[in-house]
């Protein structure tokens, strides 16, 4: 059994800055990290390796420096890493990203028996793009069942049984057969830290690079040309209001608050 784990490299800060002219992220001087949700995806893969002997293959689509996050996953214990990198992949929206990742998975699967069972694991969302679309779109591309927002996971033979978050305080239990894709919430596990030995081993392993030609990708389905999304403008909303600190006794504060709310026609 193979567990494919999709990892995105993201800016390591909580507030991204946008270039107002190009509507793109300002990446200069910003350290990049593994998308935090994806660490939980790697950990699920490693648990399945320990419990069921699964092979853990990590893959990322991104610029050459995205290799860093793959090395981190190798240091945690992943078996193989693939970096999908090509200028032709640049500017991909979620649709083009998931199409490219699907091509990568199909390319890797060619080396395995036709009936090889596999699971694809994604983080629930990337902390920069935040759309949570890549997992579901990737499952559609691969033509396999998908279960999102998973926080409990069990594998018996080729059946997976998961618990997924639904409405607040509601859980859905779902079973499906492999192959399948799950996107995981951080509640699912505690990701391990890479060990010193793991880090040394990670630098001895190769990350295979896959470009558009190797994946036999069609120009109109990848990168900017394959993207259906057009970003017109990205901006941080201007702060319009100001804050007021109410002072005095609680009763006086309540009276002041009521006055302010009346002034603003809230009540």
Ligand X SMILES: Cc1cc2nc3c(=O)[nH]c(=O)nc-3n(C[C@H](O)[C@H](O)[C@H](O)COP(=O)(O)OP(=O)(O)OC[C@H]3O[C@@H](n4cnc5c(N)ncnc54)[C@H](O)[C@@H]3O)c2cc1C
Chain residues in the site for ligand X (CB under 6 A):
6-8, 23, 25, 35, 37-38, 41, 60-62, 91-94, 97, 101, 122-123, 125-126, 128-135, 224, 227, 229, 231, 234
Dump strand ranges (E) for the chain. 2-6, 9-11, 18-19, 24-25, 32-34, 55-61, 80-84, 118-123, 146-156, 159-165, 171-177, 180-184, 207-210
Q: Which residue is nearest to ligand X (CB)?
A: 129
CA distances 252 to 8, 47, 255, 258, 260, Å, are 52, 58, 5, 10, 12
Minimum distance from residue 94 beta carbon to ligand X (Å):
4
Q: Contact at 8 Å (CB) between 148 and 183?
A: yes
| Cβ nearer to ligand X, comparing 120 with 202 | 120
Nearer to ligand X, 129 or 145 (CB): 129
**For ligand X, which is the closer residue by CB, 13 or 234?**
234
Count Cβ atoms below 10 Å from residue 48 Cβ, excluding itself.
Answer: 21
For the bound state, the minimum distance from the C-beta of residue 100 to ligand X, rounded and expressed in Å, comes to: 8
Residue 219 CA, distance from chain mean position: 24
Give the residue with the Cβ less far from ligand X, 48 or 126: 126
Considering the complex, what minimum distance in angstroms separates the CB of residue 126 from ligand X? 3
Decide whether 236 or 257 has the Cβ nearer to ligand X.
Answer: 236
Q: Smallest distance from the beta carbon of 252 to ligand X, in angstroms? A: 45
């Amino acid at each position: 059994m193979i567990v494919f784990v999709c990892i995105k490299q993201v800016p390591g800060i909580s507030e991204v800055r946008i270039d107002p002219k190009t509507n793109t992220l300002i990446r200069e001087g910003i350290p990049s990290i593994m998308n935090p949700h994806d660490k939980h995806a790697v950990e699920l893969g490693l648990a399945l390796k320990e419990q069921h002997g699964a092979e853990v293959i990590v893959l990322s689509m991104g610029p050459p420096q995205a290799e860093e996050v793959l090395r981190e996953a190798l240091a945690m214990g992943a078996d193989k890493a693939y970096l999908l990198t090509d200028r032709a992949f640049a500017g991909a929206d979620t649709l083009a990203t998931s199409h490219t990742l699907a091509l990568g998975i199909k390319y890797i699967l060619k080396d395995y028996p036709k009936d090889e069972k596999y699971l694809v694991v994604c983080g629930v969302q990337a902390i920069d793009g935040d759309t949570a679309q890549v997992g579901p779109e990737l499952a559609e591309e691969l033509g396999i069942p998908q279960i999102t927002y998973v926080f409990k996971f069990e594998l018996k033979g080729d059946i997976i049984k998961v618990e997924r978050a639904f409405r607040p305080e509601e859980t859905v239990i779902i079973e499906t057969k492999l192959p399948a894709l799950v996107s995981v919430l951080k509640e699912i596990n505690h990701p391990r830290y890479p060990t010193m030995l793991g880090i040394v081993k990670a630098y001895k392993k190769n990350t295979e690079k896959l470009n558009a030609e190797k994946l036999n990708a069609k120009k109109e389905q990848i990168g900017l040309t394959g993207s259906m999304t057009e970003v017109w403008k990205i901006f941080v909303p201007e702060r319009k209001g100001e804050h007021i600190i109410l002072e005095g006794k609680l009763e006086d504060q309540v009276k002041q608050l009521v006055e302010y709310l009346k002034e603003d026609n809230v009540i």
